[in-house]
Structure 1
Amino acid sequence: MALGPRIIATMPRRQPLAHDRSLPTSGSPRRAPRSREAIADRRGSRPASSRPSTRGDGPRAGFRGRLWSSTEYDEGHLAPGRRLNAPRQREQSLPFHDGHGSDSTHDTATASRPKHAPMTAVGDNRPRELHWYHAGPMLFGDLGTSRLYVLGLAFYFTRHASLFHIAFVNVLLVLVGVCYLIICRKYPDGGGVYSSARGTSRALAVVGGLMLCADYTVTAALSCLDAFRYLGVGGEIMGISLELLCTIGAIAVIGAANWFGPRGMGRIALIVALVTVVLTAIIAVCALPSLHHTRIELPVRERYSIAAWGGAWVGFTEIVLALSGIEAIANMTGIMVPPVRTTSRKSILPVLAEVVVLNLILGAAMNALPDAKLIDPEGHALGTDNMMSLLATAYVGPAFSHAASFVFGALLLSAVNTAIADLMAIQYMMARDGELPSLLGRLNRHGVPHYGLLIAMLVPAALLLIFPNITQLAGLYAVGVVAAITINLLTTGSTSQFELRPWERRILLGVGGVMACILVTLLFNKPSARAFSMAVLVVGLGGRLFTLAGRSGLAPTASHAARLLAVACITGQAALTAFVPAANTVSLLSSVAAAGLLVWVSKWVSTGAPTTALHTPLENLEGDYSPVTTYVLAASRPSSLIDGVIQDARHRQAGVVVVYVREVAIPVSGAGKAEDLADDQVARSVFAEALAPARRLGVPVRLVYLIGGAVADQILETAIEADASKIYMQIRKRRGILSFFKGDVIGPVAERLPENMELVVRA
């Protein structure tokens, strides 16, 4: 019985040069292979001081990828198949007795290997592989896109006093950035509001997470709508705005692309961000000679008028937008390459510098334009939703403006992708912690929470149907992110979990106090934003109570009553939002009362809920012999390969490490608990298929269930830790669109395979 058809090698082994075994001899240049230590060091598993040197001519100095053909059964015994491009002397074999009365063969290299100590299971881990040049563009995707609508909104609300307001917002942005550098350093395993506030209060952390959900929802809708304003889409089809149809369609397309995970989209976003920086710098440089025409008005014309100062403060709060990117970066410190302090600093500071400097120059350039280009004859501000295109036309030229507008639109669409990914991530984290329904934490086979993705697509689209205007959406925008940042700064500044320098505590509490004042002002002056935020809060807290009641150890009657209360609050909030005007005080008081009641009942219900996650243990088999070598079997699905490898290990007195890598395509870390094996049907099927023949044949088996990270890196690191001699993999090449979004697995493993390991690929 054959395991599968014989595989023809499509990746020949690289021939080393005489003076350097790690370089190819001919053909196109390839990435230099990495040693065992290099792979482990990249994952941050050991400090630099303890890393052994990889120089010299030892077995770990370089790599030579070996690709084996399939092995076949021959009259009930496994006969090794022909090795492709393998040295002839390695084909010699020696007989040995397997302890069951039958002879088998193994190669000389295997015979000379010392017997290993009993294998140990490799624990679950979330690799640290987010570099600063990955995190920086993600931050720029939020802060960098802000100028595309903040400049126009600043002039819309404050006219020629806008330069002062832009300067004040930049000062606030720098202060918030400094605070988040402290937070990233103090919370290296996740510094977002949901992770950091849990040390103070679980309910407060959930409130912060829900406020981020509100912010990401508005970000996706606002950025997508503004993208088509920059692209110049207009007109109507059957009485429906073409711009609105394109916006909703774009959200659907971006959401569909995220079904495979946001990895492939991130590559495009990086390119678009770099091009945007260049184009923005060109506009700023061309505007410099005209800055002496800048018209500046003081934000307060009557120095002793309280109303004038109040109006200036309200104008300032109107343009406090696009701070959520810093919160998203802090939430991903748990997957940043160590040291986190350095990675976060390199991610945040360059983006802050670019945004602050260019925003000031462009704000001055905007106020240097004549009023005829900024205000129409009826007194309405122009360029509210496409001010950067207006500046490009005025200072560079129409042709450049058309090209730049296309890039700016692409950048805004990349911001939509980032917002959808962040919205999925925060839902996933809260669902895995049992704070939201478990449906939101279920992953598809590409590692994406598909129900969370559905919500991340539908809610922004529904919001656009209700508020199809840039200024209306901007009115909803700031409340969520300001609330989340306020909670994060105040809880971190007042925590006793770690030591803070006096100046660090003062700046955290001081900036947190300013953000709290901004939040109160926004809630008072923006009824629509207040109603939207309270709706998200009450619905989220209702879902939390419904989930906690199902997990609690309360009596069935009490549990059902708590769930009915959750449903009643959600239904009532939906009715208030739909039928009661947002400015109505009764609506606000009712929402606040419902939120408080849900928090109080949830605290009572959670006392009966389990406080720790009960993970399904991995079953390992000791076998009836001590293995002389180790095989690593990387299986992505149940197949006949598993049974064949177990039988091969029995004949060669080998132990088997069965590896299943659960892909998590969204960038999460921190408080969210790990995926449980009990929720992964495919992994349990793979392990069950490996354990059945192993028990029958007495083969030592260890099960390894890994979560997140690049699959190829996880397989290689597991093989290195197990000191394996062979890695078995299934042929499952990703082609077409799936290859673009997810990449291949077998190719990277073969390319970076240590020279004392062999890769066996079977169908």
Structure 2
Amino acid sequence: MTWVATVTVPAIETEGALTYATRFLPFTTAATAGGEVQHVLTPLGYATAVVLLAVFVLLNYFGVKLFAQINNVLVWWKLAIIVLVIVVFLITALGTTQMGSPANFTSHGFAPGGVPGVFVAISTAGIVFSFVGFRQGIELAGETRNPKRNIPIAVIGSVGITAIIYAALQVAFTLGVPEKLLGHGGWEKLSFTNDAGPLAAIATIAGLGWLAFLLYVDAVISPADTGLITTAVSSRVSYALARNGNAPAFLARRNRHGVPWIGLLVTFVAGLIVLLPFPSWQQLVGFITSATVISFGVGPLAVGALRRVEPQRERPFRLPGKDVIPLLGFYAANMIVYWAGWQTNQKLFATILLGYLILLIWQLVGRARGSRPTLDFRSGAVWLLPWFAAMALISWLCDPEAHPELFGWVFLINAVVTVVIYVLALRFRMPRARTDELIAEAEEEGAEEATSSPTS
């Protein structure tokens, strides 16, 4: 699921970039699906998506140094545009009558569409998706010189700075919406005719045409930059799968720049496939959010298990609270997956089932070649399969859209599932000897990587 969650992101970011670039050329067209208007790729859009995905691969092929130089420029551009929007919106909204007013915060009450909508939006409206960039600092940590210092800065810094910026942007947006637009159904019915970008639409209404233009340019650059980053990450995940024996060994081949180039090609092909059944940016967001978060769910369980089986091992990073934070993290992952809804999760669990079938085939092939990876089935499947089964059942029976009356009960149901699965995972964790063996193997491979990787 980690691989699925990373390899599909370049496609969704390309889709997002082209959705906003439709302002300039017909890359997408409006289509109605499930009663909602969505933007789907045109033939020109799909052809352009292919070119963009190829550019991501090409830029990553020449190593981390080139990738980092390009990414640094684009990140500073994105930050500058967001801060500019916040400042201009606040000044304009508070100083003129063309935009909204502080009354926008209270005029229609708290959560006028109902509290469930707030939680569902976390999964389906891109809220979680907007924060998952913190993982890239971890997944590319093997290519930093001082991970002990840099990883905490990257993870905590990215989440904290992003939260502050998004909160400020939301305040500016709420103030910026003209009151006349809220007079036709309130926040639930808020829409901007013939305009895919709400921030640019508000800027246009306020007579800030120059800012609207910058926003449209940024709406193309920002997702394209994220697509570039996740292309790098997904190739490293493919590389790691191969090194762990869970994927063909050729995925671990690197070019003279130290880049797993075959993994890049796999990401490119996967992106082309993903764009076919999910032609709309909106359709992709919920799926990738669920795939990403359910892959995160394994982390808290690993922390709890390693604390018990390796209590004396040196820890550069220390997490207080014993099992409290791992349990809360696992619970949050389960709730976010549920909020995505059954329409999205049925695709997620179908993908998980397909992954298990592929893993089974790979086991049989590996046995024939004498290179079958050890699955440690007892330590994994005893809790993993019941976890997936429980999450699928809850999502189906208590779907937020089909059964809104059960929405509140799922907070309690998922709490029980979280504790039970957590206890199961710790009860059937790997024994100390097996854990030591795997850690020693990882340390040996890490030392080998450090001596064989190019300086780039």
- TM-score bucket of the superposed structures, by smaller chain: 0.5 to 0.7
| Structure with more helix by fraction | 2
Partner of residue 246, structure 1: 48
Partner of residue 355, structure 2: 537
The Cα shift of 1:442 comes to 1.8
Matches within 5 A, 1:144-543: 211-231=1-21, 232-235=23-26, 240-289=42-91, 290=93, 292-296=102-106, 309-318=115-124, 319-338=127-146, 340-368=147-175, 369-370=177-178, 381-382=191-192, 386-394=197-205, 397-496=208-307, 497-498=310-311, 502-503=320-321, 505-522=323-340, 524-527=342-345, 529-531=347-349, 533-534=351-352, 537-538=355-356, 540-542=358-360
Task: For 2:445, give the aligned amino acid.
Answer: K
Determine helix, strand or coil for the equivalent of 1:277: helix
What is the root-mean-square deviation of aligned Cα atoms in Å?
Answer: 3.9
Q: 1:493 to 1:332 in 2, by over 3 A?
A: farther
Determine helix, strand or coil for the equivalent of 2:245: coil
Partner of residue 740, structure 1: none
Task: For 2:293, give the aligned amino acid.
Answer: V
Q: Deviations over 1:483-507 (max 9, x none)?
A: 1221112321343224766525312
Q: Deviations over 1:425-477 (max 9, x none)?
A: 01101101212111211223443323221110011112112212121111212
| Structure with more strand by fraction | 1
User: Which TM-score applies when normalising by structure 2?
Assistant: 0.67
Task: For 2:104, give the aligned amino acid.
Answer: T
Q: Distance in 2 between matches of 1:553 and 1:244?
A: 40
Q: Distance in 2 between matches of 1:365 and 1:402?
A: 18
Q: Distance in 1 between matches of 2:7 and 2:333?
A: 21
The Cα shift of 1:417 comes to 1.2
Q: Provide the identity percentage.
A: 16
Q: 1:405 to 1:675 in 2, by over 3 A?
A: farther
Determine helix, strand or coil for the equivalent of 1:381: coil
Q: Distance in 2 between matches of 1:220 and 1:299?
A: 36
Q: Distance in 1 between matches of 2:64 and 2:102?
A: 44
Determine helix, strand or coil for the equivalent of 1:448: coil
Q: 1:240 to 1:313 in 2, by over 3 A?
A: closer
The counterpart of 1:708, out of the listed 440, 453, 456, is: 453
Determine helix, strand or coil for the equivalent of 1:447: coil
Q: Distance in 1 between matches of 2:137 and 2:11?
A: 21
User: Which TM-score applies when normalising by structure 1?
Assistant: 0.42
Q: Distance in 2 between matches of 1:236 and 1:353?
A: 35
The Cα shift of 1:331 comes to 3.2
Determine helix, strand or coil for the equivalent of 1:444: coil
Task: For 1:475, give the aligned amino acid.
Answer: G
Matched, 1:673 2:418: no
Task: For 2:348, give the aligned amino acid.
Answer: R
Partner of residue 98, structure 2: none
Q: 1:674 to 1:316 in 2, by over 3 A?
A: closer
Kept in 2, the 8 Å contact 1:437–1:547? The answer is no
Partner of residue 737, structure 1: none
The Cα shift of 1:271 comes to 0.8
Q: Distance in 1 between matches of 2:2 and 2:182?
A: 34
The Cα shift of 1:676 comes to 8.1
Q: Distance in 1 between matches of 2:88 and 2:218?
A: 18
Q: Distance in 2 between matches of 1:413 and 1:539?
A: 33
The Cα shift of 1:250 comes to 0.8
The Cα shift of 1:380 comes to 7.1
Kept in 1, the 8 Å contact 2:294–2:334? The answer is yes
The Cα shift of 1:553 comes to 7.4
Q: 1:241 to 1:367 in 2, by over 3 A?
A: farther
Q: Deviations over 1:668-726 (max 9, x none)?
A: xx67936989xxxxxxxxxxxxxxxxxxxxxxxxxxx9311417xxxxxxxxxxxxxxx
Task: For 1:346, give the aligned amino acid.
Answer: I
Structure whose alpha-carbon radius of gyration is higher: 1
Partner of residue 552, structure 1: 370
Matches within 5 A, 1:635-646: none
Q: Distance in 2 between matches of 1:672 and 1:223?
A: 36
Determine helix, strand or coil for the equivalent of 2:451: strand
Task: For 2:330, give the aligned amino acid.
Answer: G
Q: 1:229 to 1:489 in 2, by over 3 A?
A: same
Q: Distance in 2 between matches of 1:255 and 1:245?
A: 16
Kept in 2, the 8 Å contact 1:220–1:416? The answer is yes
Task: For 2:4, give the aligned amino acid.
Answer: A
Q: Distance in 1 between matches of 2:259 and 2:134?
A: 23
Q: How many residues align?
A: 360
Q: Deviations over 1:104-154 (max 9, x none)?
A: xxxxxxxxxxxxxxxxxxxxxxxxxxxxxxxxxxxxxxxxxxxxxxxxxxx
Q: Deviations over 1:324-344 (max 9, x none)?
A: 322232234444333x44322
Task: For 1:282, give the aligned amino acid.
Answer: L
Determine helix, strand or coil for the equivalent of 1:466: coil
> Which structure 2 residue ranges, 5 or more long, are not aligned?
29-40, 94-100, 313-317, 373-395, 398-436
Task: For 2:14, give the aligned amino acid.
Answer: C
> Which structure 1 residue ranges, 5 or more long, are not aligned?
1-210, 303-307, 555-582, 585-610, 616-669, 678-704, 712-763
Task: For 2:76, give the aligned amino acid.
Answer: L
Q: Deviations over 1:619-650 (max 9, x none)?
A: xxxxxxxxxxxxxxxxxxxxxxxxxxxxxxxx
Task: For 1:466, give the aligned amino acid.
Answer: P
